[in-house]
Amino acid sequence: MSTVNGINVPIDFLVERRPATTGTVQIGDLTASIMPGVDRALALARNVSIAGVDLHGAQQNLIARVCEVGPFLALKFRAFHHRQQPKDAFDILYTVRHYDGGTDAAIEAFAVEARAGNPACADALNTLCQHFITEEQPGPTKASHFVLGPVLPSESPDAKYQRATIRQDMVDVAARLLKAATA
């Protein structure tokens, strides 16, 4: 964690160190987490133009290097595999739905990663099969929890409908990802 102008900014240093798939490695005076798939994510990263207002109110136009969707999804599924955080599940759904190349392209990009042997994909595919196939499994449940919070006994019919929709959308996306990756 680093603090910039009073704002806490988490900083993760990631590195791929085959055959290791977990743990850390010391690189100089930095400790880096071992993350299979990060080399592929770096190799396929692309530049994106970003325009907006910074924390001081100044207009900024920047070029940011971002992870391409296929490697990102593989890494997100692997993250869910290891920590089962609601944000990881929802990030998968949001990314596939809102990828700038379209949903079909995002799904195909993930399939390309599986066929290319991205080392994050073994855990990603295992996670898809174990946690995202039905609406009651952890992936869809936690995606809806991230958006709507915990289920309350007094939950409105609208909230119940929204929760069910998120869960079903998550299952549908997962089924498409799994089908494409294993075809």
Please indicate, yes or no, whether residues 21 and 74 belong to a single structural domain of this protein: no
Please indicate, yes or no, whether residues 137 and 83 belong to a single structural domain of this protein: yes
Say if 137 falls within a structural domain.
yes
Q: Give percent helix, percent strand, percent coil of the chain, each to the nearest 5.
A: 55, 20, 30
pLDDT band for 10, please (50, 70, 90 cuts).
Answer: confident
Residues near 164 by beta carbon (within 8 Å), at least 6 away in sequence: 135
Least confident of 25-29, 46-50, 96-100, 122-126: 25-29
Is 0.85 surpassed by the pTM of this model?
A: yes
Element (H or E) spanning 15, and its range?
strand 14-15
pLDDT band for 20, please (50, 70, 90 cuts).
Answer: confident
Say if 88 falls within a structural domain.
yes
> Per-residue pLDDT tens for 53-107?
998 999 999 999 999 999 999 999 999 999 999 999 999 999 999 999 999 999 9
Query: How far is 142 from 84, CA to CA, in rounded Å?
Result: 8
Please indicate, yes or no, whether residues 106 and 25 belong to a single structural domain of this protein: no
Residue 99's pLDDT is 97
Q: Print the domain residue range for 135.
A: 69-182
Please indicate, yes or no, whether residues 91 and 133 belong to a single structural domain of this protein: yes
